[in-house]
């Protein structure tokens, strides 16, 4: 991978697919991010919990805190299942999971993620552009089915996210075989 890039807040950078070193757009305003991502066909929203959550809250508490927005998204998209994933720097499978998510892939389902805690970077490849979106707590992203992308939570992942699925199988990737992810900055947790 190219030199790592440290990002501490929600941030969108747009690159040409052959040069992951110079962004032609770099924004942190969530409204500007939503507008730029809409041209990719990507949904981006900011959510707030209906109740206060303790750090490290369990799946039931997390889903209850966001039940209004989760229910709305599930109804709008015809989604059938939802769960909560929590990754910590000491997770025993963190290296294998990172490698799995770092390879460019598509899904036959929309990939819907909401960040409850922590952060991670989605890289969206459309046409000749790559969008690098660092999602932080409060951010919802919905990557359309068929869009090539990859995800990086860094070497020391720290996030909690709600995952919403149409199919009961959950996360199933169709890998592109491209090495494009190696030409873009890795995500580094701060």
Residue 190 confidence (pLDDT): 66
Residue 3 confidence (pLDDT): 40
Residue 63 confidence (pLDDT): 96
As a whole number, mean pLDDT of residues 36-61 equals 92
Per-position DSSP letters for 149-176, written without gaps between them: EEEE--SS--EEEEEEESSTT----EE-
Residue 101 has pLDDT above 80, yes or no: yes
Residue 4 confidence (pLDDT): 42
Residue 6 has pLDDT above 80, yes or no: no
- CATH code where residue 154 lies: 2.60.120.10
Give, in order, the Cα–Cα distances in Å from 53 to each of 59, 62, 65, 66, 152.
11, 7, 7, 10, 25
User: How many Å apart are CA 129 and CA 47, to the nearest integer?
Assistant: 27
Give the residue from 124, 122, 127 showing the smallest Cα distance to 159: 122
Model confidence at 1, pLDDT cuts 50, 70, 90, reads very low
Residue 169 confidence (pLDDT): 65
Residue 7 confidence (pLDDT): 45
Q: Which residue has the higher pLDDT, 6 or 46?
A: 46
As a whole number, mean pLDDT of residues 20-24 equals 92
52-96 pLDDT tens trace:
888 889 999 999 999 999 999 999 999 999 999 999 999 999 999
Residue 5 confidence (pLDDT): 44
Residue 170 confidence (pLDDT): 65
SS3 60: helix
Residue 152 confidence (pLDDT): 96
Q: How many domains does the chain have?
A: 1
Q: What are phi and psi of 37, to 5 degrees?
A: -70, -25
Report percent pLDDT > 90 for the chain.
76
Domain around 156: 2-188
Beta bridge partners of residue 129, listed in sequence order: 16, 126
Tell me how far the alpha carbon of residue 113 is from its chain's centroid. 6
144-168 pLDDT tens trace:
999 999 999 999 999 999 999 887 6
């Amino acid at each position: 991978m190219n030199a790592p890039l440290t990002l501490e807040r929600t941030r969108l950078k747009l690159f040409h697919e052959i040069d992951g070193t110079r962004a032609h757009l770099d924004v942190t305003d969530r409204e500007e991010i939503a507008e730029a991502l809409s041209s990719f066909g990507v949904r981006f929203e900011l959510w707030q919990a209906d109740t206060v959550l303790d750090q490290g809250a369990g799946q039931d508490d997390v889903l209850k805190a966001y039940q209004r927005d989760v229910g709305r998204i599930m109804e709008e998209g015809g989604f059938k299942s939802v769960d909560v994933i929590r990754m910590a720097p000491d997770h025993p499978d963190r290296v294998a999971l990172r490698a799995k998510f770092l390879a460019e892939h598509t899904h036959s389902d929309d990939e819907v993620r909401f960040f409850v805690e922590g952060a991670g970077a989605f890289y969206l490849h459309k046409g000749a552009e790559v969008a690098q979106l660092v999602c932080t707590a409060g951010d919802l992203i919905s990557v359309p089915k068929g869009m090539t992308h990859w995800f990086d939570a860094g070497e020391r992942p720290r996030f909690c996210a709600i995952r919403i699925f149409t199919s009961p199988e959950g996360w199933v990737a169709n890998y592109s075989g491209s090495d494009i992810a190696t030409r873009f900055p890795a995500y580094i947790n701060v």
